[in-house]
Amino acid sequence: MTRSADSIDFIDLKAQRRRLGSRVDKAIQRVLEHGQFIMGPEVAEFERALAAYTGARHVVSCANGTDALVLALKVMGIGPGSAVIVPAFTFAATAEAVAVAGATPVFADVSPDSFNLDPQSLDAAADTARKLGLRPAVVIPVDLFGQPADYPALQAVAERHGLRILADAAQSIGGSLDGCMAGKLAPVSTTSFFPAKPLGCYGDGGAIFAEDTETARILESLRFHGKGSHKYDHARIGVNSRLDTLQAAVLLEKLAIFPDELKARDAAAGRYAKLLERNVFEGAVRPPRLASGATSAWAQYTVVLRDGIDRDAVALAMKAKGVPTAVYYPMPLHRQTAYRGCPGSAAGLAISESLSRSVLALPMHPYLDQPTQERIVDTLLEALP
């Protein structure tokens, strides 16, 4: 289908680029001039700036968000025989990192309201892992679509089972829970700077947040081939996963406008909620809900369609009128070929199954205006049966 001339951008990175203007060009030029393309000064500067923004004690950047998870699991000593509990309703990278580390992903269900890991399902998943002869070692809550998971409730369950928490904050940097920013809600957290993320670079990038100084020191070694006292002294087996200096330079400029963009994202989410509340009929569309005390980075604005509505037909009808949508995620992880042999919570994964059939993401970025959102919502409602 040909793209309409007045098609809406799902994520408008061009508008952000126009706002940044020559700032990014100058930042890149500075790197080109000093020539320190690997671990140049902008890398450490960005790590310090991101730590200051989130309140995290340490930030260790790396090549991408998946590597961030792998490195975090590695520093936690996770390997064969360990069970790592992850939500079934998320992107594959969370479970992939567990498998790459040599551990076994065990799937738990999510809450229908927040889309985040359900504490009761976590409890059942830990019991399932133990019955299978695995050692429940870590749980990785994913702050899906920008809203932090319920860490206090998850912590209570984790303590009963001896689980450590590793927060997957790939979508939630800028979000908070009870005044604590994502990146500081667990002893170790990770994030991604994939271009579509609220804080994204112009390629791949990631970071690990750590509250413990020794953990951060080991992570700095692990991302650089296990570097010891100098480049050719390797204290441990590591990987090659460093954030490019050029990407750090871009991220520094984006971080400078990030608080303002978050306010704009929140305003856009508020407009969506009012438009949908005013127009939705017979419970056909349910807007996302924020938990008490939570703020979201609004990485996505995902609505839930009522059971029985043909989501594909709705999406096609909207696309025909120049309004893009997306589905995050059309298949829960336990149904995907690579993970079908992995165990799941004995309590079942019914919510993950249901959401995968009914979620629909609407355009979301800081540069949405009310007329555009009115068009999006009107088009959605017209497409409903």
For 6-25, the pLDDT digits (tens) are 899 999 999 999 999 999 99
Per-residue confidence (pLDDT) for residue 310, from 0 to 100: 97
Question: Which spans in the chain are helix H?
Answer: 13-20, 22-34, 41-54, 65-75, 93-100, 119-131, 151-161, 213-222, 245-279, 311-320, 350-358, 370-383
For 210-232, the pLDDT digits (tens) are 999 999 999 999 999 999 988 89
Mean pLDDT of 316-338: 97
Walk across the sheet containing 294-295 and list its strands. Answer: 180-181, 176-177, 294-295
Please tell me the pTM assigned to this model.
Answer: 0.96
Per-residue confidence (pLDDT) for residue 231, from 0 to 100: 82
125 has pLDDT over 90:
yes
Per-residue confidence (pLDDT) for residue 1, from 0 to 100: 37
355 has pLDDT over 80:
yes
Mean pLDDT of 228-239: 92
Per-residue confidence (pLDDT) for residue 280, from 0 to 100: 67
CA distance 17 to 161: 47
Per-residue confidence (pLDDT) for residue 163, from 0 to 100: 98
- Of the chain, the end-to-end C-alpha distance in Å amounts to 22
Domains in the chain: ranges and CATH = 14-255 (3.40.640.10), 258-383 (3.90.1150.10)
Average pLDDT, the chain: 96
282 has pLDDT over 70:
no
Per-residue confidence (pLDDT) for residue 312, from 0 to 100: 97
2 has pLDDT over 50:
no
Q: Distances in Å between the alpha carbon of 199 and those of 8, 147, 258, 265?
A: 21, 15, 7, 12
Mean pLDDT of 289-315: 97
